[in-house]
Each structure stands twice: as structure tokens, then as C-alpha cells.
Amino acid sequence: MDLVVIKLQDYDVVLRMDFLGKYNAKNDCRKRYVIFSPYGEEEFKFYGQSRSSATRLVSAMKAWKMLANGCQGYLANMVDKDQE
């Protein structure tokens, strides 16, 4: 297992090292983005987005309860490129 438990007060996303390695990912925490360079495909950047802490807290609590009850968790982010 390649996950490491780190005590955090807040976080945006936690990704497994094998996932990051598979897509040759480079993380820039200061600028809040991850560059993915999948082999044989075009490189792209994933930018973090700010959310209010109240929304994140409610979502995290609900997700924790669902995961504790045996549900599987997935993370998805969609951005409308026409709205940028």
C-alpha cells in the first residue's frame, strides 16, 4: 500500500502515488495545480478551485459517514471551458 496517513486540518484532494505515477503527474502546491502528462497524450493542467469552508465541511462529513458505511468514493471535477 502506498498511502501515508498525515494529520491535516484541511485538504483539497488526496491521490494515490500509483495514480500520479501512471499519469506522470507534477504537483505545484503554491500555484494550486497538477500537471498530468499521460504517455502518448497531450499534457493538461488541473487547477484547484476555492470553496467556502462550510460547504467543504458538510461534504466531508457526509462523505465520511458514507465511506464508514461501506460506500465507495470517487472524485470528479468538471469545468465548463466556455465559462472561463
Question: What string of pLDDT tens digits covers the 84 residues of the chain?
Answer: 455 555 555 555 666 778 788 888 898 888 888 888 888 888 888 877 665 555 555 567 787 888 888 888 776 666 777 765
Compute the distance between CA of residue 34 and CA of residue 26 in angstroms, rounded to an integer: 6
Look-up: residue for cell 502546491? 29
pTM, rounded to two decimals:
0.45
SS3 43: coil
**Apex CA 34: angle with CA 82 and CA 36, to 5°?**
85
Q: How far apart are CA 11 and CA 31, in angstroms?
A: 15
Other CB atoms closer than 10 Å to residue 56's CB: what's the count?
Answer: 14
